[in-house]
Chain A
């Protein structure tokens, strides 16, 4: 019998190793797996590379993980939000590596990893400093850059409801990176507002099919 629902942060985060690449969903705080990221501090994995659209704000969620010194490198499109003080401090102190890439390129690189695509050409960043050093090729008279897939060892995502098989639905714009990251990691862990039995979600409404999800943890009253 399949039951991907787990009942503790320990079970949810078991086995995440030092040096892992973690895909963390969210656009700002919407859809961010804040509690899972904080529990990862207790779990103890170090030397992490985190892929996230933003680089944390305040002293919670991703910012807390960074403050605890667990993140070696962050790959994001927009590290500046109101209150993104931790990344500022760590970067100024040379304690974190920052790779800034176009938002759609980060997203598409993860999709490529999920789809078994070895690389793709895109116009985005061609002729700019973010495209420097990348292989280029002209198609139909327009310059493109080669981008490689971006795969996660682990995806930490936030959804609204998860069922016993790991099927997920989301809430409004909190969906953002969740579905793509769920597909692009070896181990996908979803924190959800509620869990239900298999068959209770409308199959027409399921956004992330359970094949992409390994563990589902209900986090009541999450932010």
Chain B
């Protein structure tokens, strides 16, 4: 009944202003690039040293020296630039990007983000640039399903997983709702058609208020993309 991942990506893309400099986290957030409305010029940053990241190239034009942060082949759009790592992270940590879209395991009502580790990881710890992006970017957008596969809410009073950064998330886009993180806690801005605030509250692990102009979260039917 909720949005699929492409539809969440589409919904996020509608809110990214023309001329924005944006970093999309590895994984689901990468889909956002596919749905930028026509006529808007958005400059995508990749932390391994490029601004103006374009879509993936045809197989025969892949170059192992032109990768994104997920180590997948990409292209550079006209006007794009390469730079070294310290400059790239200066852009991130110094707040030069406008926003980033990050995946999330958990988000707290004070904007804490947990997206790099759980409490029972079998794999080695690996943080990459997640903490830099979360701590340094002026506007941090979380993109996630509203609940985990087992139904556990991901929007909580407090995160139980290790934090990526404290008090940084501005807005959460899920399959069920668009929720702002405000000084007064979670405020629903949009909820999918047919779901009440009370029903969304049941799926949310912290008190949820409704925005005065609470709207309906909707997205067009979208075909599967390559993402």
A residues sitting closer than 8 Å to B (CB atoms) are: 27-31, 55, 77-81, 87-88, 91, 98, 100-105, 107-108, 110-111, 122-130, 143, 170-180, 207
Residue in B closest to A92 when the chains form the complex, CB atoms: B124
CA A170 – CA B49 in complex, angstroms? 12
Cβ-defined contact, B129 with A102, below 8 A = yes
* Residue of B63, B71, B84, B90 with highest tally of chain A CB at under 10 A: B84
| B50 interface hit (Cβ, 8 Å) | yes
Q: Which listed residue, A98, A105, A128, touches B166 by the CB 8 Å rule?
A: A128
Q: Residues on B close to A: CB < 8 A? A: 46-50, 63-67, 69, 71, 76, 82-86, 88-90, 92-93, 123-132, 135-136, 162-167
* Inter-subunit contact B124/A176 (CB<8 Å): no
Q: Do residues B84 and A78 form an inter-chain contact, with CB atoms below 8 A? A: no
Main secondary structure on chain B at its contact with chain A?
A: loop
Chain B's closest residue to A28 (CB) is B71
Q: What 6 pairs between A and B have smallest CB-CB spacing?
A: A104-B89, A104-B132, A127-B166, A174-B65, A179-B84, A102-B131
Select one of A28, A107, A126 contacting B67, CB under 8 A: A28
A198 to B48, CA, bound (A): 29
What is the CA–CA distance of A101 and B129 in the complex, to the nearest angstrom?
Answer: 9
Q: Give chain A residues whose Cβ lies under 8 Å from the Cβ of B136.
A: 104, 123-124
Find out whether the CB atom of A173 lies under 8 angstroms from the CB atom of B67: yes
CB<8 Å pairs between A and B, sample of 18? A31-B65, A78-B128, A80-B124, A100-B124, A100-B126, A103-B85, A104-B89, A104-B136, A105-B132, A126-B135, A126-B166, A127-B165, A127-B166, A172-B63, A173-B65, A173-B82, A175-B83, A175-B84
